[in-house]
Amino acid sequence: MIYTLTLNPSIDYVVHLDKFVSGITNRTNSEEYYIGGKGINVSCILAQLDIKSTALGFTAGFTGEAIERGLEEMGICSDFIRLREGISRINIKVKADRESEINCQGPHISDDEMDQLLSRIGQVQDGDTVVLAGSIPKTVADDTYERILRIISGRQVRIVVDATKKLLVNCLVHKPFLIKPNRQELSEIFGTSADSEEEIARCAEELMRQGARNVIVSLGGEGAVLFAEDGKAYHSGTVREKVLNTVGSGDSMVAGFIAGYEQTGDYGYALKLGAACGNATAFSPGLADRKKIYEVLEMLG
C-alpha cells in the first residue's frame, strides 16, 4: 500500500477576476475550489493512474468533512485523525492581473492526537510506500517527520520525502527512496547558486552521500533530471504548451514517478511518467486527469 501524509490539508478556494484592487470590494468572474495538500495531491494523481493509496493526516470541522467526502467521491481511501477543535484551513488563491495567495495556519494538533497518527504509522508493513509531503504545521514539533521515520526504521518501506531545507536534510539519515528538490531549494540547502549542470550534480550527489537513494531535481521549463541509485543520470524531455497552473505540479511529478516505478521498476520510465504528470497539471486548471497525463506522455516520446 502507498500511504500519503498531509499534516495540514486544505480547501483551496480559487477566485478569478480581471484585476484585484486593494481597499475596495472586488467581484469575481468565476471561482472554483479544490481539495489541497501535497500528500493529497499525490493520492489524487495516483488515482488517475489506477494506483491505490491511503491518505493520512488530520482533518477538523466542516471543512475537514468536505475534504474527506471529496476524496471518497474521487475513490481515494483516507484514514484521517479527526481533531477535536478548529477547522481544516481554507486557502485563498487570487488569479487576476497578478497572482496572490493567502495560506492559513490550520487547526491546533494536540500531543495525544499526534500520538494517534504515529500509532497508525506504526501499522505500515514491509513493501509499503510512505510519502511525507509539505511543511510542518506550527502546532507540532519540528522533528515530526523524523519521529515518523524512526517508527518505520528497519522495515522494507519505500520512503518519499518532498520537503525543504532542514526538514528534508534531517530525513536523509533514514535513507529515503526518493527526494525532489528544485534548483532553488538546492541553493538554499547548500548556500550556493545551483545554476550549472555541474553544480546541480554536485549538490545531488552530496544529498545521496547523506542518504538519499534517488534525487529528482526539477528545473522548471527545462524539465528535470534524476540522479538514480544505479549510478546513472536520467533527463526528462519538455513539452511546450500554455501553463495554466503551477500548484501541484511537483506533487504530480512525485506521484507519476512512484507509479512508473511501481509498474515497471525502470528509473527512466518512472521519470518520464513523473514529468508527464507534472507537465499535465501545469497545463490544466487544477490537477491533471488521466486523459491529459497520457496525452503529454505521448508527446514526450
Closest CA to 71 of 107, 105, 41: 41
Catalytic residue among 115, 128, 143, 251: 251
CA 218 to chain centre: 13
Nearest to residue 27, comparing CAs of 103, 96, 102?
Answer: 96
Compute the distance between CA of residue 295 and CA of residue 280 in angstroms, rounded to an integer.
8
Does the active-site annotation cover 111? no
Q: How many C-beta atoms lie closer than 10 Å to residue 15's C-beta?
A: 18
Length of the chain: 301
Q: Are 68 and 101 a contacting pair, CB within 8 Å? A: no
Q: Which residues are part of the catalytic machinery?
A: 251
